[in-house]
A and B are shown apart, each in its own frame.
Chain A
Amino acid sequence: MVVLRDGMCPGLSEELVVALRAADITTVEDLVSSDTEDLAQKCSVSYKALLAIRRVLLAQHTAFPVSGADLYEDLLSSTAILSTGNPSLDKLLDSGLYTGELTELAGGPGSGKTQVCFGVAVNISYQLKQSVIYVDSTGGLSASRLLQMLQAKSCNIEEQMEALQRIQVFPVFDIFSLLGCLHHFRCVGLQQASAGGGSVKAVIVDSVSAVISPILGGKQNEGMSMMTQVAGLLKTIAKDFNVAVLVTNTVTRDGNGQLKAGLGQTWSHVPRIRILLQRLERPGSTCSSVRTATLAKSSRQPCHLKEEFDLQCWGRSEEQLYGMSGKRKHTEPS
């Protein structure tokens, strides 16, 4: 519904807008769907002029179809796969985070979602030397932990500082700030928004449920609309700028007591890949850093694949990591 204003296209003058409004035509849709001849008579305007205006407005406001082959070529040339830095997670994700897609990490408190986000950010900024945008809505971003992870990868202080500079942090604590921030990215582009070296390859939002759950439910009727706006913006950013978007979410229990990701059915259609993180309930080891990741939704792999991984793997150097990989257990789907 776009309101007709004078100057929108050549030939649409103020008097014509007033005349159209008198004939009950206020928006572009009304103009395009009405009978042009009839309208020309009512507003005492030439049929040709009205037809020309209609054509220009249609050209301005229609969507353009793209052929499947072009889309496929585009996808092949522009998609990149970003490794998370953890071989088990990469296996679950079919070798890493795909750009142009939204991946979701869901888990209870203390299950490691923020640590995985840190690990991904560090891996992209240090190994791949690309920028990362980190939108933090829980206050959980700890730069000292990022530095710790970088120190395990390299002893060169300059490299560590450079890698830290490639991670841009945007603190947002309510839904309107988040929408403003995402709009800002969409309008000025991620390069300008990040102003760091290298191109932005990933946008991490930790966590999306913290800002959305206070407005969902009860007598509030705006919650769902805001949630879908966030979803739309994230997907557009992922597609238009060719970045991988990683979001974190909480978990709830459904009727049978099974864990499922939070924010409801509507949100469950938004991410392309969904991973559920859980602590391992092993008797005897209360403070362990091992977590299980279950693939709950994926467009490339069969669901319910499970992997175990250690949260400390990002804090270890490469030799320790690959030396240990032989001993790590992998649970196979039955």
Chain B
Amino acid sequence: MQRDISSYAIAPSVKVKLLNAGFLSAADLCDLRPLQLSKEACISQEEAVEVLQAVRCESGQERAAAGRLTALELLGREQELGTIVTFCSALDMALGGGMPVGKTTEVCGAPGVGKTQLCIQLSVDAQIPVCFGGLGGKSLYIDTEGSFLVQRAVDLAQAAVDHCGLLAEDSEQQEALKGFTVETILSNLFLVRCHDYVELLAETYLLPDFLAQHPGVRLVVIDSIAFSFRHDFEDLSQRTRLLNGLAQRLIQMATNHNVAVILTNQMTTKVWSGQSKLVPALGESWGHAATQRLILHWEGTHRLASLYKSPSQREATVPYQITGQGFRDAPPSDQPKASDDPSVRQSGSLSKRPRTEEDQSTRT
């Protein structure tokens, strides 16, 4: 039972030459030297070396078994990885503690509803020190729309530092607070500006190297995926293919490097049997790309966040607001009738660490 040559990651033109020379399976190649192979298959020596490397590396079959783990080990790993809080306690509860690390989350919403605010808030929150219940990691912000404002990030960072300052009790937290200032927050926030989809795709190919060089990064935000892919695309099927490939690379990166990946998406109108509905852009197949999907929408003058798709949390809708200090809970006095309120309370997920409680007195 030997593996076909066509199932290895070799360039298609080289595969055709190998097949024409009569090499069908890995066994045919196993005891050949590069010079012999290049002569018999009429390929260059470098290509022959690459082919033999690909075949021999896989034939050990260690790679296939390397990543495997039992569900029990996975449970331990998930609990270790933690989550990134959003500072809106209702949303954190609905999400099971916050944005999960090691998974991709998509945030969709109409213009002005708060997607970029949430992204900037998460970039700051990922850096909250471990003794305050955060991850103490760095953030990478990939901006395609040009909507990242440094001044806003400074405001949010200041609010987070003040919040932690009020919470600091013991000496360990006081010590950590010295390293948690607006300057350090901004210096641990890496910003990349991409102008079109080619730059964005190139950036995702470079990301694994970047993450290997900066192992402290815990959050990658792409704001937004939709902007670069909605303009200048004549071939929609090519767009779907590119997006699917992108989604797979992102989830691979999230799993291998233990980062949370947040993607922002826009909304579009779908006309369906005489009715029009607001749905996330980029097509129906993109809906499968992210592990979790959060839809932000308006209800009159109130902002609501709905968890539309999640493997571990139940669907819920919670209200939130954007204040001068960032993404916060909606004030309890004028909360709209959020559906499934009881289900938000009994989200039933494991609560992992002491949560940073919302301090009402910090709000002016």
Contacts and interface: CB of A to CB of B under 8 A. Distances in A.
Interface of A: 1-3, 26-27, 108-110, 114-115, 118, 134, 137-148, 161, 164-174, 176-177, 179-181, 183-184, 186-188, 193, 196, 207, 209-211, 213-218, 221-222, 225-226, 229, 250-253, 262, 286-287, 289, 312, 315
Interface in B52-89: 58, 61, 63-65, 67-72, 74-75, 77-79
Contacts of A171: 67-68, 255
Contact of A221 (B12, B102, B244, B312): B12
11 contacts: A2-B24, A109-B309, A138-B288, A140-B311, A148-B312, A170-B68, A171-B255, A173-B249, A177-B63, A287-B317, A287-B339
Contact of A145 (B7, B15, B77, B312): B312
Given A148-B348, A174-B252, A217-B237, A143 B71 contact: yes
A169 B77 CA distance: 13
Contacts of A142: 78, 311-312
A236 to B, nearest CB: 9
Contacts of B237: 217-218
Contact of B28 (A3, A147, A164): A3
Given A144-B350, A184-B64, A217-B237, A109 B72 contact: no
A116 B106 CA distance: 22
Nearest to A110: B309
A170 B63 contact: no
Contacts of B63: 177, 180
Given A148-B312, A167-B70, A184-B64, A26 B288 contact: no
A141 B285 contact: no
A109 B311 contact: no
Contacts of A165: 70-72
Contacts of B61: 180, 183-184, 187-188
A144 B104 CA distance: 17
B244 A210 contact: yes
Contacts of B7: 176, 179-180, 183, 226, 229
Given A213-B285, A287-B340, 9 more contacts: A109-B309, A137-B248, A139-B104, A166-B70, A169-B68, A173-B255, A174-B248, A184-B65, A250-B288
A210 B309 contact: no
B339 to A, nearest CB: 6
B78 A176 contact: no
A250 B240 CA distance: 13
B311 A114 contact: yes
A135 B74 CA distance: 13
B8 interface: yes
A326 B74 CA distance: 37
Interface of B: 1, 3-4, 6-9, 12, 15, 22-24, 28, 58, 61, 63-65, 67-72, 74-75, 77-79, 96, 102-104, 235, 237-238, 240-242, 244-245, 247-249, 251-252, 254-255, 284-285, 287-288, 291, 293, 306, 308-309, 311-312, 314-317, 339-340, 343, 348-350
Most buried by A among B15, B102, B242, B251: B251
Contact of B238 (A27, A172, A218, A289): A218
B78 A222 contact: no
B171 to A, nearest CB: 33
Contact of A287 (B9, B79, B242, B306): B306
Nearest to B26: A183
A254 B324 CA distance: 48
A180 B22 contact: no
Contacts of A211: 248
Contacts of B96: 144
B93 to A, nearest CB: 15
B255 A139 contact: yes
Given A148-B349, A193-B65, A226-B7, A210 B248 contact: yes
Given A165-B71, A222-B6, A226-B7, A183 B64 contact: yes
Contacts of B65: 184, 193
Contact of B241 (A1, A115, A161, A216): A216
Nearest to B314: A289
Nearest to B58: A180
Contacts of A137: 248
Most buried by A among B12, B287, B288: B288
A286 B339 contact: yes
A172 B22 CA distance: 30
Contact of B69 (A166, A169, A184, A210): A169
Contacts of B308: 109-110
A139 B248 CA distance: 9
B161 to A, nearest CB: 31
A176 B317 contact: no
A216 B65 CA distance: 27
Contacts of B1: 186-187
B194 to A, nearest CB: 20
A181 B78 CA distance: 23
B174 to A, nearest CB: 33
B247 A210 contact: yes
Contacts of A139: 102-104, 251, 254-255, 291
Q: 7 nearest interchain CB pairs?
A: A109-B287, A184-B64, A143-B75, A142-B312, A214-B245, A110-B309, A173-B252
Nearest to B40: A3
Contacts of B316: 287
B64 A169 contact: no
A215 B6 CA distance: 14
Given A177-B64, A183-B7, A143 B311 contact: no
Nearest to B280: A109
A144 B76 CA distance: 9
A20 B221 CA distance: 63
A226 B65 CA distance: 21
B291 A250 contact: no
B69 A207 contact: no
A289 B348 CA distance: 15
Contacts of B58: 180
Contacts of A221: 12
A264 B148 CA distance: 41
A115 B313 CA distance: 11
A18 to B, nearest CB: 13
A2 B28 CA distance: 9
